[in-house]
Amino acid sequence: MFSKACEYGIKATIFIATHSYQRQRVSLKEIAKEIDSPVAFTAKILQNLVRHNIINSIKGAYGGFEIEKNKISTINLAQIVNALDGDQIYTGCGLGLHTCDEKRPCPVHDKFNVIRTELKNLLENTNLEQLALDIKSGVSFLKI
């Protein structure tokens, strides 16, 4: 459903948020290792997230990636998905057809609209704080 870049981006952002609560920055290599992603690919994803003001990149000896602590609760998954995949998940055809709309629907068009609406609600109503706190408390995991 999400591109590989988006999957890695969501994982990376959650990982950064968990460390940002403790006022720790994390390096590119730490992030890539934690989310099991190639370093160069992770760098491109993180650059995109920085460009969209979702994460911060600090240069220097004590640099790394972070999210301002007071900003963690305001960032939702929809922002991350939009930064990395655009709005295609909300507008694209469930079967991947180029022409699929109300006038020329694909066989799953109406059923997929229901799923798309639920997914949009989930992404817009799930913020980084919820996810980071679940990781910190051991309720959920990023890596097994």
pLDDT tens-digit map of 71-125 = 999 999 999 999 999 988 888 888 889 888 889 999 999 998 899 999 999 999 9
Residue 75 is assigned to a structural domain of this protein: yes
What tokens were used for 93? 């055809």
What pLDDT, on the 0 to 100 scale, is given for residue 101? Answer: 85
Residue with tokens 């730490």, as numbered in its chain? 30
- What's the one-letter identity of residue 62? Y
What predicted TM-score, i.e. pTM, was given to this entire model? 0.90
Tell me the residue range of the domain where 16 lies: 4-137
Residue 144 is assigned to a structural domain of this protein: no
CATH of the domain at 87: 1.10.10.10
Is pLDDT above 60 for 144?
no
Domain count, the chain: 1
